[in-house]
Structure 1
Amino acid sequence: MTRIHDMGGRFGDGPVVPDAPDAPVFATDWHAQALAVTLACGALGQWNIDISRHARERLSPQDYTGFSYYEIWISALTGLLVERGVLTLDDLRGQGDDRSHPLASRMLKADAVTAMLAKGGPADRESEIAPKFSPGQAVRCRHPGDSCLVDGGHTRLPAYAAGACGYVLRLHGTHVLPDSNAHDLGEAPEPLYAVRFAASELWANPENADDQVIIDLWQSYLEPL
């Protein structure tokens, strides 16, 4: 079954309608608040970006398709807060106690936000795994494209690329493997490549057959041709 969040190239979901050039960054105030709360909770250090992405992917299909963008963020965030023991259901209901929280010292304050955002979260790491592929080499994405580490787990290999053939454009170095990092299995860094695909290789009826699509793919997603 296609993962509900893996919508790239899928028919039947309607057109992508870009915002107008003069549209505000946030459509409503609570969207900005949702982003702020998500950043503040992430600063507590109880999960990583891959865990948070997988939390959104694990929402029920009804919720994922019915929620707006920031509703997905907030719903997944509340689930993470409870799963990781940061808050309880009573806390979320406003029925918790007023004792100081053990993570209070890690609170993200307003004057630290700019520096935190500027720092980002680099995912490049040292690794003993040597690159198998070089620029120009033909490769095929593994098929099926599901996680090889956790049944039904997180992966950054798009469903539309599973089994597709392309050419390595460049090596990005070694980076944290999301498939492992999303499940508390360690960072497991491995080589990451930019791989070039013809649009006609990915989709049966591309709008422009001569288009090319560049996808960043980890070494374990690929096999040589």
Structure 2
Amino acid sequence: MSRVHDMGGRFGDGAVLPEPQDGPVFATEWHARALAVTLACGSLGQWNIDTSRHARERLSPKDYSRFSYYEKWISALADLLVETGVLTLEDLEQAAERAKDQAGGSEEIQKSHPLSSRRLLPEQVAAVLAKGGPADRQEGPVARFQPGQKVRTRRLSDSALVNGGHTRLPNYAAGAVGHIERYHGNHVLPDSAAHGLGEAPEPLYAVRFAASELWAHPEHPGDQVVLDLWQSYLLPEEVA
């Protein structure tokens, strides 16, 4: 995570208020459409989930702070479509005008686009969602840590590969001491995959931290937080 996106555990942002479990899945119809079109565009194969996450955290802080959840999704998707050359800015502007006029033309664009053969058809959705996109890999370095071992996260949470780049080490956990809870096997490293640098799979661990280790004044000091962290984020505590 980077910049304004890295909000976890930050003081002053207010309480987290879970939505009722018996409420609607989507507050409005366009939220469902935003999720659907994001997943459908992902099937075009022009980016991966880490690239998509990084696109959201790259939104300008001004926009990020005022956008709702799905506004962030659809804005980041628009950026990705233009950056990867799937569409041009003019394409998006023309589509917006057609939507205002409720005019047709989308089918002709789909058929003429070079990626039209990769579009996600309605009858394929269930199978594609069920399959998902597994990130576990057989190849990669040997696991350096074992369950129960004491470790410390690196003191700088920023990406070690790309300046301002994507990472899954939250700032509130940087430099914190925890214990290995579980070894998940080797998984694609988001820090690398988000920037087209290859999958670079490495060992992934569930690491357990005391709340009092992460925050100076935790509301419940006896609580514990478990984070999934890659091996390059960690050091054995005795040499940290």
- TM-score, with length taken from structure 1: 0.97
Which runs of at least 4 in structure 1 moved beyond 4 Å after TM superposition? 95-99
> What is the aligned partner in structure 1 of residue 3 from structure 2?
3
How far did 1:128 drift?
3.6
C-alpha distance in 1 between matches for 2:37 and 2:81 = 12
- TM-score, with length taken from structure 2: 0.91
> What is the aligned partner in structure 2 of residue 103 from structure 1?
115
1:66-215 correspondence to structure 2 within 5 Å? 66-94=66-94, 100-215=112-227
Identity of aligned residues (%): 70
How far did 1:23 drift?
1.3
CA contact 2:136–2:187 (8 Å) conserved in 1: yes
How far did 1:22 drift?
2.3
C-alpha distance in 2 between matches for 1:160 and 1:128 = 28
How far did 1:13 drift?
1.3
How far did 1:224 drift?
0.5
C-alpha distance in 2 between matches for 1:23 and 1:104 = 36
How far did 1:102 drift?
0.1
The alignment status of 1:223 with 2:208, answered yes or no, reads no
| 1:128-180, Cα deviation, whole Å (9 max, x unpaired) | 41111111111000011110000000000010000000010110000000000
- The amino acid across from 1:29 in the alignment is E
Gaps of 5+ in 1: none
How far did 1:192 drift?
0.3
- The amino acid across from 1:210 in the alignment is G
| 1:99-136, Cα deviation, whole Å (9 max, x unpaired) | 60000000101111111110011100022411111111
Name the count of aligned residue pairs.
224
Q: Secondary structure, in 3 states, of the residue corresponding to 2:137?
A: coil
C-alpha distance in 2 between matches for 1:21 and 1:126 = 37
> What is the aligned partner in structure 1 of residue 101 from structure 2?
none
* Worse overlay, 76-85 or 91-100: 91-100
> What is the aligned partner in structure 1 of residue 102 from structure 2?
none
Gaps of 5+ in 2: 99-104
> What is the aligned partner in structure 2 of residue 37 from structure 1?
37
C-alpha distance in 1 between matches for 2:24 and 2:147 = 41
- The amino acid across from 1:209 in the alignment is P
C-alpha distance in 2 between matches for 1:127 and 1:152 = 27
